[in-house]
Amino acid sequence: MEKTWWKESVVYQIYPRSFNDSNGDGIGDIQGIIEKLDYLKELGIDVIWLSPVYKSPNDDNGYDISDYYDIMDDFGTMEDWERLLDEIHARGMKLIMDLVVNHSSDEHEWFQQAKKSKDNPYRDYYIWRKGKDGREPNNWKSTFSGSAWEYNEATGDYYLHIFSKKQPDLNWENPELRQDVYKMMKWWLDKGVDGFRMDVINFISKVPGLPDAPNPNGEPYVSGSRYFKNGPRIHEFLQEMNEEVLAHYDVMTVGEMPGVDVEEAKKYTHFERNELQMVFQFEHMDLDSGPDGKWDLKPLDLRDLKASISRWQNGLNGAGWNSLYLNNHDQPRVVSRFGNDQEYRVESAKMLATFLHMLQGTPYIYQGEEIGMTNVHFEDIEDYQDIEIRNMYKEKVVEGNADHDQVMESIYTKGRDNARTPFQWNDLEHAGFTTGEPWIKVNPNYKHINAEKATADPDSIFHYYRQLIQLRKQQPIIVYGDYELILPVHEQIYAYIRHYEGEKLLVITNFGEEPVDFSLPEEIEFEPEERLIGNYADDQSHPGSFTLKPYEARVYKGK
C-alpha cells in the first residue's frame, strides 16, 4: 500500500460560525480561528477542514455560495483568510476548503442571470423544466422539506433545488459550467490550499429525464434520491475534474456522499481510478434511523455497527481509503448518541474515540468532540436556527398534525444544531465564544465542559485525543494495518485486531454501561507486549480474559 501524508493525517473540522468570535458580533470568524491555532497545534492535528467561508446570504450557513472567489463579511476579508493560511502553514499544518458545487446560492451572479430569460447565456448553468399538469415537473422532495422545484415567474418554468430553494442545483451536463468550477478550484489551489472536502459531490450527475420516483401511496412529494445520487455520469465528471485540476497538485480530497455503498466507494477512491482519495459515507450514521429516515428514531444495535464498519474496512482495504468520523456539523454529538453524556461522559467519549482512531483510514475530529461536547435541549423551537430543523418542524407540526413533543424529541436526538452550538472555551459568559450575543444559544453545560478545564486536566478527553493522535505518528500499524473483526455477534463489546508486518494490535471496547467479561476467542493467537492506551488505569490484567468496566477501551500491541 502506498504511503501518503493524507493517510497518516488526523483532520480537524472547523465550523467557523460556531468556533470563536474575535469581534463581538456573536458570529465566529477567521481572526477567531487564528487565535486558536495554537490550541489545535497542542491537540496535534495535521489538517484543518474549514466549512464554507465564501460569500453567502447564509440560508444554509454558508453552504449556499454567492461568490466562490470572496469571503463572507461575517467571517472577515480575503486578507484575513490569507493570513489564516499562512499561520496554519507556519505551524506545519494544512488547510482543506469546503467545495460546494452541486448547487450555488440563488444570489450567485450565474443564477441572477439565468433566471432572467430562456436565452440568457447562464440559463444552462442550472436545471430547468416545464411544469406538469399545473404542478412541479416531478415528485422529488427537497432535503429541507417540500418540493425540490421552485417556479420562476420570468421564464414560466421551474428550477431544481435538492436543498433549499435558495440553493439551485448546478447543471453539470454543461461543459462550460464544469470549466468554470475547475477554474475556481485551481484559483484556490494556486493560493496554496491543500485540498477539498466536496459537498454532496455524488449528487452532481442526475438521471436524464429526471423521472418521477415510484409513488404507490400518492404522497405529494417522495424522495427522488435514487435519480440524483451516484448518477450515470458521476465517475466521468470526477475523472475529468481529476485530470484537469487535482492531478496537478499534491492535495487531499474527500467527497461527501450520502447513499454511497462500499462497491461504489471503491470506484470513487480506488488508487488506480484517479477520482477522489476518500468519501464520507453515511451507512454507520443511518443505523439509528427507522424506515422513515433520520427523524424516525431507533436505538443503535451494536451488531449492525460492526457489520457495517467491517464491510467498509475490508472492502476498501488495499483498494481505496476510508474516512473515519462519528461527528460533523450535520450530526448530533456522538457522546450523546452512542455513548452516555451524563455519568460516563468522559469514559464513553474516550471509548468512542479509541474505537474510531484505531480503525484503518483517516480520522476526522469535529470541533468540540475533543472536549466531549454534548447535544443540547432548547425547549423553544425558536431557539433552533437550522433551516432543516425549522422547515421540518413547520411541515410536520405547524402545517401537519404531528405531535409537538415527539418532533422535539427527534430534534433533541438528531437535529444538526446539536453540533452547532458555540464552542465551549471556558466558564465565562457565553463560554468565552463571544463578548456579544451568540447567533445560537450556548449549551448551558459550558460551566463544566470547556476547553480551559480540559487542557488543564491530564485525564481529560482532550489529552486522550492527543495521545491517540501521537500514537498514530509512532505506530504505522494504526495507519496501514489490515482489520479483522472478532466477536461479531457480541451485543456489547466491539473488538478487532489490526495486522501489519508481523505485528498485531488488539482493540477492545465496551459500548455499554454494564461491566462485561471479555475473553479472546481460542482460535485467535495474540501474545501481548504492551498496552498502548486505555481509558481506565492499567490494572495489568491479561488481555486474554478480564472484565471490562463501563465504556472501557483498551488497545494492546503484540504478536
The binding site for ligand NOJ (CB under 6 A) comprises 60, 63, 100, 163, 199-200, 256, 329-330
H or E segment and range at residue 446: none
Instruction: Identify which of residues 285 and 507 has a Cβ nearer to ligand NOJ in the complex.
Output: 285
Instruction: Identify which of residues 227 and 546 has a Cβ nearer to ligand NOJ in the complex.
Output: 227
Cβ at position 418, least distance to ligand NOJ in Å: 13
Q: Which residues contact 342 (CB under 8 A, 6 or more apart)?
A: none
**C-alpha cell, 163:** 436543498
Alpha helices in 70-223 (DSSP H): 78-90, 109-114, 175-191
- Residue at shortest CB range from ligand NOJ: 63
Instruction: Identify which of residues 61 and 336 has a Cβ nearer to ligand NOJ in the complex.
Output: 61
Specify the DSSP class assigned to residue 212. P
**C-alpha cell, 227:** 435519480
Cβ at position 330, least distance to ligand NOJ in Å: 5
**C-alpha cell, 373:** 461536547
One-letter-per-residue 3-state SS of 3-19: CCHHHHCCEEEECHHHC
Instruction: Identify which of residues 159 and 551 has a Cβ nearer to ligand NOJ in the complex.
Output: 159
| Active-site pick, 29, 80, 106, 256 | 256
Cβ at position 164, least distance to ligand NOJ in Å: 8
Give bridge partners of residue 158 from the DSSP assignment. 129, 151
Instruction: Identify which of residues 98 and 136 has a Cβ nearer to ligand NOJ in the complex.
Output: 98
Cβ at position 61, least distance to ligand NOJ in Å: 7
Instruction: Identify which of residues 256 and 264 has a Cβ nearer to ligand NOJ in the complex.
Output: 256
Give bridge partners of residue 333 from the DSSP assignment. none
Helix (H, G, I), strand (E, B), or coil: what is residue 153? coil
Q: Which residues contact 418 (CB under 8 A, 6 or more apart)?
A: 331, 332, 333, 336, 375, 376, 412
256 part of the active site: yes
173 part of the active site: no
Best CA proximity match to 389, nearest among 440, 341, 437, 431: 440
What is the chain's length? 559
H or E segment and range at residue 429: none
Cβ at position 200, least distance to ligand NOJ in Å: 5
Residues 452 and 426 sit within 8 Å (Cβ to Cβ): yes
Cβ at position 198, least distance to ligand NOJ in Å: 10
Residues 28 and 382 sit within 8 Å (Cβ to Cβ): no
Rounded to the nearest 10°, the torsion over CA 182, 69, 174, 235 is: 40
Helix (H, G, I), strand (E, B), or coil: what is residue 140? strand
Residues 53 and 92 sit within 8 Å (Cβ to Cβ): no
Instruction: Identify which of residues 228 and 483 has a Cβ nearer to ligand NOJ in the complex.
Output: 228
Cβ at position 65, least distance to ligand NOJ in Å: 9
Helix (H, G, I), strand (E, B), or coil: what is residue 26? coil
Instruction: Identify which of residues 172 and 518 has a Cβ nearer to ligand NOJ in the complex.
Output: 172
Cβ at position 514, least distance to ligand NOJ in Å: 35
Nearest 5 degrees, angle CA 411-CA 413-CA 419? 85
Between CA 486 and CA 474 the distance in angstroms is 25
| Active-site pick, 29, 199, 264, 388 | 199
Specify the DSSP class assigned to residue 135. B
Cβ at position 542, least distance to ligand NOJ in Å: 45
Instruction: Identify which of residues 136 and 256 has a Cβ nearer to ligand NOJ in the complex.
Output: 256
The widest CA-to-CA distance across the chain, in whole angstroms, is: 76
Best CA proximity match to 167, nearest among 101, 99, 102, 104: 104
Instruction: Tell me the catalytic residues.
Output: 199, 256
